[in-house]
């Protein structure tokens, strides 16, 4: 039991530091762990605070040296920040079978919360019920997958009813990919109006990815926000909407935001995309649309270059391929987007198979790669971290109110990393690699990952 004098000393220090925002921790017997000596972004400034974790998994943030605990971890030279939030985690093919592998590579990349806002489920209640019966390394949540809803129901009235039911059951938003499943605008507007009704975002994979039409897709997303009043998020803008015209796409979004429309987007920090060969991206005319040949395509997990014969073979097998590095030049796409306050980081990936890799390297290394790349192009570290924490927290409000922030009383989702060595290690030929420089990851106050070792499974559902 914490002695009364020690407790009073800690409470006085917290009040003096202005870091005490909630007093629930004071009813506990004390702090389990204190992280000390690391730089941390607190209240918009870099500080070197004591960061305590109480027995309920909540944070106590105070001045350096103010806290005491049974375990004090010195972290000089490291950075402590809120755990990374992946708003575009991808695990929709067979999630109950593959989620544990996905979560393993997410947590090793510093991710503490992975949300399936690109894709998702047509049965939110069933999703949360099934996933709630299993242990999780990180926090998890799901959106309403319109593509799946449209497969399940033919009539628009039935589709709208299913989408609304998912939102009533706690789905975090509405997601649709209108390039992969072309849908009339008025139908998409109906889904967006439901999102507005339930105060959820719409996550949109735009309709066009060709040089000639991609900006039409950006315009359509803005029209959707204007007509529905919903907040609209464009998934991976640099691969659908801004591949060829990023400056113009961003200018359109800036103008929309000055109207009061809440438009956001995300990118992943790679100069190439990957997708399944059976998708509409590889329908007739793909070579002309993207300026690619069969030999440009690499089979993910092996790096094998395709031929016309192997293209047909692997397309029948629904295999995943990556296009060459430089297909989306970073300086013309990602780098421009990252300088915008409304652009966040989203992986659009997940490692689903341990023995046979099937994901773009972003499935394992997106966030560490983003930190490294942000520093490389001169972004302040706090800016790139905000695109993985505070930005997603605001976009998914209010359900992430107590995550994505270093504040007393918030959940202790924390990522500790070395700012000099952090980087993704995953490659096209071998995506299944843990990121470098991630020292520790705490999820709901429990040590989930430490320097290559998986630990506690303390993840919780994120649900409206």
- The DSSP letter of residue 112 is E
Average pLDDT over residues 351-360: 79
Region of residue 84 (phi > 0: left; psi between -120 and 50: alpha; otherwise: beta): beta
Domain ranges of the chain: 4-77, 83-273+323-401+420-434
pLDDT digits (tens, 9 = 90+) for 408-454: 999 999 999 999 999 999 998 889 999 999 999 999 999 999 999 99
Neighbours of 198 (CB within 10 A): 17
Decide the pairing of beta strands 139-145 and 111-121: parallel
Cβ contact 220:206 at 8 Å: yes
435 vs 428: CA distance, rounded Å? 14
Place of tokens 């359109």: 252
pLDDT of residue 23 exceeding 60, the answer is: no
CATH number of 4-77: 2.30.40
pTM of the model: 0.90
pLDDT of residue 290: 86
Helix (H), strand (E) at residue 9: helix 4-17
Find, among 320, 335, 292, the residue nearest to 431 by Cα. 320
Asked whether this chain's domains 4-77 and 83-273+323-401+420-434 adopt the same fold, the reply is no
pLDDT digits (tens, 9 = 90+) for 216-225: 999 999 999 9
- The DSSP letter of residue 435 is P
Cβ contact 252:265 at 8 Å: no
CA torsion 100→367→145→137, rounded to 10°?
30
pLDDT of residue 389 exceeding 70, the answer is: yes
Grade residue 280 by pLDDT with cuts at 50, 70 and 90.
Answer: confident
**3-class DSSP assignment, residue 315:** helix
Query: Which class is 83-273+323-401+420-434 in CATH?
Result: alpha beta
pLDDT digits (tens, 9 = 90+) for 303-318: 899 999 999 999 999 8
């Amino acid at each position: 039991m914490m002695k009364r004098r020690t407790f009073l000393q800690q409470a006085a220090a917290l009040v003096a530091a202005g870091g005490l925002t909630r007093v629930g921790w004071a009813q506990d017997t004390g702090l389990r762990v204190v992280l000390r000596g690391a730089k941390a972004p607190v209240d918009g400034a870099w500080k070197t605070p004591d960061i305590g974790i109480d027995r309920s998994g909540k944070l106590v943030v105070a001045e350096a040296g103010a806290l005491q605990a049974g375990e004090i971890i010195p972290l000089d030279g490291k950075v402590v920040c809120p755990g990374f939030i992946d708003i575009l985690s991808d695990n929709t093919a067979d999630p109950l079978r593959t989620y544990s592998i996905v979560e393993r590579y997410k947590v090793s990349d510093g991710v503490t919360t992975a949300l399936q806002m690109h894709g998702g489920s047509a049965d939110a209640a069933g999703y949360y019920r099934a996933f709630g019966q299993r242990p999780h390394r990180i926090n998890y949540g799901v959106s309403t997958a319109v593509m799946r809803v449209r497969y399940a129901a033919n009539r628009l009235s039935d589709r709208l009813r299913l989408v609304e039911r998912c939102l009533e059951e706690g789905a975090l938003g509405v997601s649709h990919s209108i390039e992969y499943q072309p849908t009339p605008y008025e139908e998409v507007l109906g889904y967006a109006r439901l999102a507005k009704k339930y105060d959820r975002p719409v996550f949109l994979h735009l309709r066009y990815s060709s040089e000639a039409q991609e900006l039409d897709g950006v315009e359509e997303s803005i029209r959707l926000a204007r007509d529905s009043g919903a907040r609209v998020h464009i998934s991976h803008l640099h691969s659908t909407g801004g591949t060829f015209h990023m400056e113009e796409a961003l200018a359109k979004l800036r103008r929309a935001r000055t109207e009061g429309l809440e438009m956001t987007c995300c990118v992943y920090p790679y100069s190439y995309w990957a997708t399944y060969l059976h998708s509409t991206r590889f329908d007739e005319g793909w070579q002309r649309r993207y300026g690619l040949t069969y030999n440009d395509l690499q089979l993910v997990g092996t790096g094998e270059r395709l031929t016309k014969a192997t293209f047909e073979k692997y397309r029948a097998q629904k295999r995943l391929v990556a296009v060459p590095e430089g297909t989306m030049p970073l300086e013309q796409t990602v780098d421009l987007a990252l300088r915008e306050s409304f652009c966040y980081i989203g992986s659009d990936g997940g490692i689903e198979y341990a023995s046979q890799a099937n994901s773009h390297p972003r499935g394992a290394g997106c966030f560490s790669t983003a930190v490294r790349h942000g520093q490389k192009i001169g972004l302040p570290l706090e800016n790139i971290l905000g695109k993985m924490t505070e930005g997603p927290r605001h976009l998914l409000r209010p359900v992430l109110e107590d995550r994505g922030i270093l504040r007393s009383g918030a959940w202790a989702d924390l990522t500790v990393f070395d700012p000099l060595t952090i980087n993704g290690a995953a490659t096209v030929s071998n995506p299944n690699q843990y990121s470098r420089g991630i020292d520790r990851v705490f999820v709901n106050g429990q040590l989930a990952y430490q320097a290559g070792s998986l630990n506690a499974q303390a993840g919780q559902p994120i649900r409206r």
